Amino acid sequence: MLFGKTIVVTGVASGIGRRTAELAGQLGAEVIGVDRSRPDRTTGTFVEGDLSTEAGVKALADVLPGQLDGLCNVAGVSGNTGAANTLAINFFGLRGLTEALLPKIREGGSVVNVASIAGFGWRETPGRAAAIARTSGFPDAGSIVAEHQIPDEAGYPVSKEILLVWTMLAAHQDAFRARAIRVNAVSPGPVETPILTQFREVLGDERVNSDVDRVGRAGTPGDIAPAILFLCSDAARWINGHNLATDGGLEAAIVADTQNF
């Protein structure tokens, strides 16, 4: 499905990023994996990089090669390090890397952002999400958090709300549209990864357990990676600006509840 394509995957040291890189390689892609920690096993080429600062993003973008077909933005943090750091990595760093690599992505390429069911709340605060998504460059995340009064415990869901709104906006920006580069998102529910324990600390056991109970089980990285790579493939060539809920039906259950279906 990805034979002959060159795909960059961030967050390859563990979890969804690792499985996405492995599967991409099995599907015929040349994989370039990125993480701030070297994985214990590597698929394709590994590049160390840090998305938490503007300088880190620039350094990473400078060493990545050209002629890319896809960028899978999987790397992210749980929110346990505070709202400012969470927004810096989960949104500003992700967006900064995407925009820096844009000239290196071939016409007709694909960007896939890993968001979360936790970002569902953008519908309730679209103005805040859009205002932050429309900022330019790599602003001071602490100032953004202060301006919008984002508490530390809300850093993770807010970062994903912004990412979902930016996905829709970017899909129609001239920089992407002029070269037919698609921008989509995948939103997992709870997934059995090393970071799930941190999510429990941030979101609470009650929230996580409730989400798992609604769909019968937590997901696995193997449930999420195929959806990410489908959006990288030519089979998804007419899908753009879309958020693919990959959550066992959790979003559908939440919508049914909130809309009193």
Residue 156 is a catalytic residue:
yes
Q: Which of 92, 156, 166, 199 is catalytic?
A: 156
Beta-bridge mates of residue 185: 113, 243
Q: Which residues are catalytic?
A: 156
